[in-house]
Structure 1
Amino acid sequence: MVLNKRSIEGSTNISDGVSLKNKHIHHYTDENEFYKSTNQESSTAQEPDLRYGKVKQTKGSSTFDNNTNTESDEHKKSIEITGADKLDSKQQDKQEHKHKHKQLGDRKKKATSFLGLRPSKFVNNRGLIHGFGVFMFVYYLAMMYVRVEHRGLIGIADSIWLCNLAVIFGFVSIFVDNAYIMNIAVNCTFIVHLLWVIDVVTYFATGSFPLGNAEYISWPSITWGEILTTTHHAWFVPMCMICLHRNGGYQDSVWFPGSMVLVVPVLSFSRYFPKIITLANGSTFYLNINMSHEWWSDMKGWPFSLIPNGTVSYGIFLLSFSLVLFSVSHAILKVLCWITIKK
């Protein structure tokens, strides 16, 4: 039988291939192990990593990639946590700052609650205001010198008059940088100063004092030094208004309790001084500080004749009159300062 060469070659190739395969399979104990090994070898082949544009081993390097991924994720999380911590710390700082600021404000309110004090300072025009403070201080020293020279040590009692206390309050307010004290001085003396100015202007125009509030400047026992050192009735309130301009203005809590609480001890202390004193030259001087003993003797006629004369009844009247007087002063000053000065 003649065999075809191709059939012979094909058979030999097939047989060879089968024999080689069998030989290779027989190298392993089981055919499944063979296929496992071939799959393992094929899995170690390199394949492109589409995420990073690099070639990586799918199985051999998978553990490394997983580690790096977990590390990068942990790093991102740590960055996010630290960033959040920073934001939280900033917010915490802001909240703490607001809380401290609120506590400070509460402490200031508590510390200044007595007499309605407010921490209003002289911020604007400080040079001019300090000049006014020095002027008030020198003026007060000159006023006391003139009083002591003419009346002796009893002349110091003139400082207890509310209109003279106002000068003390004025320069002390500037030196301690507290505008509220100056507000009290203005409220306590505004009406008295206004009546004094009306009396003096009318006297120079007509030769008579319609109110009798400033009639003492025509007494024979009054010196020119005393007249000059009583001119603060005219300039004190305008000067204070200049100082309060753009420095808190006229405050609402001045009338009560500020002025009303002040007048009670002042009137009580004024009664310890006599109504009339005898000077070194033998003449008498009508003192009656703050009209604590009786209504001013030069202010006569109606309605002054209706004022009671008894000690207790007159004291009640004087306190009631002060309440009305300071209330009227407060209302006028609020309107006046609203028109003329800024807070």
Structure 2
Amino acid sequence: MIVYYVFVGVTRYYIRGLAGFFDVFWLCQMSCLLAGVGALLHQPKVITFTFGLISAPHGLWVLDLFLYFIIGRFPLGMSSYLIWDTTHRLELLTTTHHIWFVPLCFTILYKNGRPTLSMIPYHMLGGFFLLIISGSLLPLSYDGHYLNVNIAHRCWPDIPAWLPSFNPPEWPWMAHVLYVAIAGGLLNAFLYLFIWGAYQIYEPIQKPSKKQE
């Protein structure tokens, strides 16, 4: 996952220069780095924290792509960039983590550390601070390229009109941050519960061995 993260940075810089390199700060990209570090250091909580942060974005991305093949359009606007004329083929290759990242984390954690419900507040706080940092340090656009990393400045323009209607453009920036953090955090928590439930079903509970007398 760490190698993949580096590959994303190199290819995006090759395609669009520094504007492309900003893509490595998207949460879905950084999740590969964080989970990779967690795996190397044998820290399952780091992996659990990471995929808890991106449960909703990845889940909606996959759902949007699936619906495209069914109805011929992207109703959620999450993965519509896949068919943009400006999307390079290398970018298509380096967006596959939306599909394999959560299953890979699930596999790594199997019998090595189970998700816990106590992580949900940390997911919400992590998302909030990520939005603050992204909106404060990363530009909305650079060198003519629209960035809006982690939708920290405003809602993504391809998202259907019904969603931004709850988050008008004239809202103060902090109101936007709170809106995205709360809405995203609740959706992440909802999907994280499914992952947590899967572990309760499929992973055998390790019982402590009795000491021999």
TM range (shorter): 0.7 to 0.9
Structure 1 residue 327: deviation in Å? 2.3
Distance 2:129 2:22 in 1: 15
Gap runs ≥5 in structure 2 = 206-213
Query: What residue number does 1:301 align with?
Result: 161
Aligned residue among 109, 117, 124 for 1:260: 124
Distance 1:342 1:163 in 2: 30
Question: Map of 1:140-179 to 2, 5 A cutoff?
Answer: 140-179=5-44
Structure 2 residue identity aligned to 1:265: F
Change (3 A) 1:341 1:231: farther
Aligned residue among 267, 281, 288 for 2:148: 288
Residues 13 and 21, structure 2, Cα contact 8 Å, conserved in 1 = yes
Structure 1 residue identity aligned to 2:164: F
Over aligned residue pairs, what C-alpha RMSD do you find? 1.7
Residues 80 and 158, structure 2, Cα contact 8 Å, conserved in 1 = yes
Query: What residue number does 2:138 align with?
Result: 273
Change (3 A) 1:340 1:158: farther
Structure 1 residue 261: deviation in Å? 2.9
Number of residue-to-residue matches in the alignment: 202
Deviation per CA, 1:253-287, whole angstroms, max 9, x where unpaired?
A: 2212x222322331112112222222xxxxx3221
Change (3 A) 1:342 1:222: farther
Distance 2:152 2:62 in 1: 22
Residues 184 and 259, structure 1, Cα contact 8 Å, conserved in 2 = yes
1:321 is aligned to 2:183: yes
Distance 2:203 2:73 in 1: 34
SS of structure 2 residue aligned to 1:155: helix
Q: In percent, how many aligned pairs have the same letter?
A: 30
Aligned residue among 65, 69, 76 for 1:204: 69
Gap runs ≥5 in structure 1 = 1-135, 279-283
Structure 1 residue identity aligned to 2:117: D
SS of structure 2 residue aligned to 1:308: coil
Distance 2:42 2:18 in 1: 31
Structure 1 residue 342: deviation in Å? 4.2
Distance 1:160 1:337 in 2: 30
Distance 2:3 2:153 in 1: 31
Structure 2 residue identity aligned to 1:325: L
Residues 128 and 177, structure 2, Cα contact 8 Å, conserved in 1 = no
Structure 1 residue identity aligned to 2:134: S
**Relative CO higher for 1 or 2, CA cutoff 8 Å, sep ≥ 6?**
2
Structure label with greater radius of gyration? 1
1:330 is aligned to 2:195: no
